[in-house]
Amino acid sequence: MQRYMLEPPHYAYDWFSPLRSEEVVKGRVTNFTFMGHELVAFRDENDQVVVLDAHCPHFGGHLGHGLAHGVHVVDGCIRCPFHGLHFDKNGQCVKGDFVKDTGGLRHLKTTPWTVRETLSSIFIWHGADRTKPTRELVFTNMDFDGWTPAVTNEGRILAPTNLFFPTENIVDVQHFYAVHFWELNEVIRAPGEDENGAFSALLNMKWTFGAQSRFDAVRRIGQFFGSDYLFDIAVWGPGIAISRASVPMLGGATVMSVILITPTNETDCRIRVVSSVKKAYDWAPNRLLRTITGQGIEDVMARLFLWVATNDFDGDEIIWTHRKFLANPKPLKDDGPLIAYRKWSLRFWPDDYAPAPHRERGASPQMADAHS
């Protein structure tokens, strides 16, 4: 059996976004789980997000759990509630509230995770070395000039799901019909690896309003409202896919939806969408609206598309959470290049990952957690 056909790792290597920007507030500690790790996030004196292991290297106290008045961020450092040691953005212990002999403090250090903040989201590098990303986050070099500020929501938990199920769906042509009731008018560029190394496609699709609704009436009325649109989709990794859709019905407005999938623990993922719309309407009323409220019609559209995209996972969620990974599926010609996608995905597998048939039933899917 080819390695790429075996069950992919849940804790793959790449950039992932476990948090929204608004979840890390200056002066406060945020506790969260990421790839099975208990972590804390806070903002340093320059407002930069810092992510550290939750357990203090001194005696294992949890940096984010103590009495409310004992959990602090002071001068951009996190203070452990157990003995009052302070750690800076580099994970270095810089002082102890009750320490007189400061000589030993420099030996107290915890390795910070590599973080980027963009698109109202916080991204973390997950790799063999948490301090050395083997590639930069794709958004770092993108220009969002002319786009509305990114909006996002808390997304939804997929419990359980295989990390690779959501992105594999993007090349799964038949599921667009069966799950989303979209129609494929034309394949302009067939899904495959592009010159940027992403797995991308350009499709001309038809969307129908309310097609997934459980209400008969909504579906009946909805069939009169729909639109063709150009669907430019690129999977950058198991945790990041970017779709840009231009919608002729809306005067050719371009809507960007970023789909973020992040493993929280050994079985579950969170899926979250970020939306932004390219500013396109230079009408007087829109300019006035922008002047008065600071938001234009495109900002309203971004929120609307965020709502639509988040809800569009209703049908997928049921499939993903009940689906079983098959190492020997029976592909049909109409399926789309799912096998090519599995081959492409191998690059995100940790070298020491042992796929399912080689591990004992019920054992951890990860052989070793190299960065721990």
**Chain contacts with ligand FES (rule: CB under 6 A):** 56, 58-61, 80, 82-83, 85
Q: Quick one: what does residue 82 bind among Fe ion, ligand FES, none, with the CB cut-off 5 to 8 Å set by partner type?
A: ligand FES
In the three-class reduction of DSSP (H, G, I as helix; E, B as strand; rest coil), residue 314 is classed as helix
The nearest distance, CB 323 to Fe ion, in angstroms, is: 12
Q: Quick one: what does residue 316 bind among Fe ion, ligand FES, none, with the CB cut-off 5 to 8 Å set by partner type?
A: Fe ion
Residue closest to Fe ion (Cβ): 316
C-beta of 103 vs 294, nearer to ligand FES: 103
The nearest distance, CB 291 to ligand FES, in angstroms, is: 51
C-beta of 21 vs 212, nearer to Fe ion: 212
The nearest distance, CB 89 to ligand FES, in angstroms, is: 17
In 3D, which of 198, 209, 38 has the Cα closest to residue 113?
38
Q: Give yes or no for a contact between 309 and 326, defined as CB atoms under 8 angstroms apart.
A: no
CA distances, 323 to each of 78, 131, 158, 219 (Å): 42, 35, 12, 26
Given the rule CB under 5 A, which residues bind Fe ion?
169, 316
C-beta of 110 vs 366, nearer to ligand FES: 110
The nearest distance, CB 275 to Fe ion, in angstroms, is: 16
d(CA 247, CA 255): 8
DSSP string of 22-33, one letter each residue = GGS-TT--EEEE
Q: Quick one: what does residue 124 bind among Fe ion, ligand FES, none, with the CB cut-off 5 to 8 Å set by partner type?
A: none
Q: Quick one: what does residue 230 bind among ligand FES, Fe ion, none, with the CB cut-off 5 to 8 Å set by partner type?
A: none
The nearest distance, CB 80 to ligand FES, in angstroms, is: 3
C-beta of 2 vs 102, nearer to ligand FES: 102
User: Which residues make Cβ contacts (< 8 Å) with residue 192, sequence separation at least 6?
Assistant: 199, 200, 201, 337, 340
The nearest distance, CB 107 to ligand FES, in angstroms, is: 13
DSSP string of 85-154, one letter each residue = EEE-TTSBEEEETT-S-GGGGGG-B-PPPPEEEETTEEEEEESSSTT--SS--GGGG---TTBPPPEE--
How many DSSP H helices and E strands does the chain contain?
7, 18
C-beta of 182 vs 344, nearer to Fe ion: 182
C-beta of 13 vs 164, nearer to Fe ion: 164
